Amino acid sequence: MTFARHDPIDTLERIAKKPSWITSARGDTLEDVAFLSGAALNHLHVVLGHHAVPQALSRNRLALRAAEACVAFSGRPERAGELRDAVHLLRPGDLPGPAGEAYLAWRRATDRPVSVKALGRALPTLEPSQIGTWLDAGKGEPVTRAAMVLEAVLMEAPRAEVPALILADAALAQALGWDHLVPLLAAGVKRADLRKRGDDLRLACHRAVTASAVDAVRLAGDLARRAALLKGVAPKLRAKGAGEAVEIFLTQDAVAPGALPLPDRAARRLCDRLVDLDAVRELTGRDSFRLYGV
């Protein structure tokens, strides 16, 4: 597929305009929902393949949403802001806590191309052989394969929602031929869905994937527009290391000034300058310990 070079964002917006029947239709049978999820995934595949979409940033933002959903499944109160703090404000020797661990697992799962080794890095408590066995439990078309992996993990470890959903999304990515895991299932399933089995679970997974794929397309379009704005103001930035800082913002959901390749004061000035230019946003609303993101 060839995209217009002169106006990539306009082209992306036309591509990202979803067919209304994907969201308006309500499939009641497994065949119906499978058709809708397939259409939604195909649409997402095309959008994520557009060069204007900051793919690493998109996956990172989806990882936050997945972690937030998993934390809610466990009955914990932490939401996006607390999860960001738990990871980005860690000091050497600090522990992120259960919610932070869930967020770290999702971030690590999306950082590198899907493989047993990469998943082992995200899920260090699991043996590589166990990860491989669970991934092999999935057969058939992509969402069915993901549902079978989800069921296999939860049958053996009923409280392992995070590993189960990560491995299910990994199986989905492998079946679709995607290099990286794209978090979709966790944000779309309901807590009660995780107790389902067989066709009931597959039905729930198809519906979850459809809803999450539509949201992911919307997110990709928004991030593409904001990334284009950030790239547009980059030439105005005079600070040494500003180019590297921009690249970090284009890959990470949230960035602390201390994570930028500049002296502390210069990093804070750069972040404030980018906020003034509307190229990044301050995410915490605090006067100190701030985090910034596209």
Continuous H helices in 89-197 = 97-111, 116-122, 128-135, 142-156, 161-176, 185-188
Q: Cα 194 to chain center, whole Å?
A: 20
**Region 157-177: what's the mean pLDDT?**
97
**Region 143-151: what's the mean pLDDT?**
98
**Region 79-85: what's the mean pLDDT?**
97
pLDDT over 60 at 7, yes or no: yes
Question: What local confidence, expressed as pLDDT, does residue 8 receive?
Answer: 74
d(CA 289, CA 294): 17
Question: In Å, what is the CA distance from 110 to each residue of 93, 192, 249, 251?
Answer: 24, 25, 16, 11
Give the mean pLDDT of the chain: 93
Question: In Å, what is the CA distance from 211 to each residue of 33, 190, 201, 204, 244?
Answer: 11, 12, 15, 11, 35
**Region 70-90: what's the mean pLDDT?**
95
pLDDT over 50 at 2, yes or no: no
Res. 21 pLDDT band, cuts 50 70 90: low
pLDDT over 60 at 287, yes or no: yes
The residues with which 292 forms a beta bridge, in sequence order, are 255, 282
Question: What local confidence, expressed as pLDDT, does residue 28 receive?
Answer: 79
**Region 278-284: what's the mean pLDDT?**
97
Question: What local confidence, expressed as pLDDT, does residue 138 receive?
Answer: 95
Question: What local confidence, expressed as pLDDT, does residue 4 receive?
Answer: 44
Question: What local confidence, expressed as pLDDT, does residue 66 receive?
Answer: 98
CA gyration radius, the chain:
20
**Percent of the chain predicted with pLDDT > 90:** 87
**Percent of the chain predicted with pLDDT > 70:** 92
Handedness of CA 113, 116, 117, 122 (dihedral sign): positive
